[in-house]
Structure formats: C-alpha cells, structure tokens
C-alpha cells in the first residue's frame, strides 16, 4: 500500500515518462534530418514545437517536485522491469514498472502531444479560399 496520494504519484510518474518522450523525439529529429524527405521542415517543426511543450511541462513537474519535497530515481533495470525509488516527504517507496507498460505509456503520451492536443482546433486554419 502506497502512502503517496494519487495526484502526487501521477506527477512523479510524469517525471519518469516525459524525459523518455523527449529522448525519443530527439532521436526522431536525427533520423528525419538524415532522411531523404523532400520537405523535412514541417516534420522538424512539428517535433521541435512538441518538444518545447513537453519541456515546459517537465519544468512544471520539476518545480512541483521540489516544492513538495518529492523525488524520483531509477534504481534498477532488467529486461522486464524497471524499479524506481519514490521519496515522498519522509517516506521512501520502491515501485516496480513493467517495461512494456512504460513503453505503452510513453507511446500514449507521444500520441497526445503530437496529435490529440491539437484536436480541439482541427480545421480552423484550413478553410478553402
């Protein structure tokens, strides 16, 4: 049983996932730059803008962690699981995450940041003249 409230745990998990999303997007930038696309710039712009949004959110997460005396640290990794130590005020908890679950969550966040966050504005700027 965890002593960490759900809201704080969710923020702590963001501190795990958001850096992973940034790492993947950075690698994707390298691949796109080396690729033979005729028009790379729209892809590069999309990824770079997405990275800026994620970096801002990660900055907010880090501020929240510092303000509330929370800390997350990876302590062990193998083929199937990654263990993180969560420091919550004076408590230390170890949480084991199934690596495919981490990958799925990172993929879900990528879909959100690349596509779904734009969904509310779909079609506004695409009117035919």
Sheet arrangement for strand 70-77? 70-77, 81-88, 91-98
On whether residue 123 sits in a domain, the answer given is no
Could you list the residue range(s) of the whole structural domain that residue 13 is in? 6-115
On whether residue 39 sits in a domain, the answer given is yes
Give the span between the Cα atoms of 6 and 25, in whole angstroms.
Answer: 28
Report how many domains make up the chain.
Answer: 1
On whether residue 11 sits in a domain, the answer given is yes
| Residue 70 exposed, middle or buried by CB count within 10 Å (0-12, 13-18, 19+) | buried
- Backbone phi, psi, residue 91, to 5°: -105, 145
What tens-digit pLDDT sequence spans the chain (129 residues)?
A: 688 999 999 999 999 999 999 999 999 999 999 999 899 999 999 999 999 999 999 999 999 999 999 999 999 999 999 999 999 988 999 999 999 999 999 999 999 999 988 775 544 444 433
On whether residue 12 sits in a domain, the answer given is yes
How confident is the model at residue 88, as a pLDDT?
94
On whether residue 45 sits in a domain, the answer given is yes
How confident is the model at residue 82, as a pLDDT?
98
On whether residue 121 sits in a domain, the answer given is no
How confident is the model at residue 124, as a pLDDT?
42
On whether residue 82 sits in a domain, the answer given is yes
On whether residue 128 sits in a domain, the answer given is no
């Amino acid at each position: 049983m965890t002593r960490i409230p759900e809201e704080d745990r969710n923020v702590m998990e963001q501190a795990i996932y958001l850096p992973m999303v940034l790492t993947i997007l950075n690698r994707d930038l390298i691949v796109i730059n080396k690729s033979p696309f005729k028009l790379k710039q729209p892809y590069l712009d999309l990824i770079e803008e997405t990275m800026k949004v994620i970096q801002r959110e990660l900055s907010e997460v880090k501020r929240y962690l510092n303000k509330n005396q929370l800390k997350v640290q990876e302590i062990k990794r193998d083929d199937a699981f990654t263990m993180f130590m969560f420091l919550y005020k004076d408590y230390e908890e170890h949480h084991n995450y199934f690596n495919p679950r981490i990958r799925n969550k990172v993929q879900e966040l990528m879909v959100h940041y690349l596509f779904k966050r734009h969904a509310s504005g779909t079609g506004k700027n695409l009117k035919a003249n």
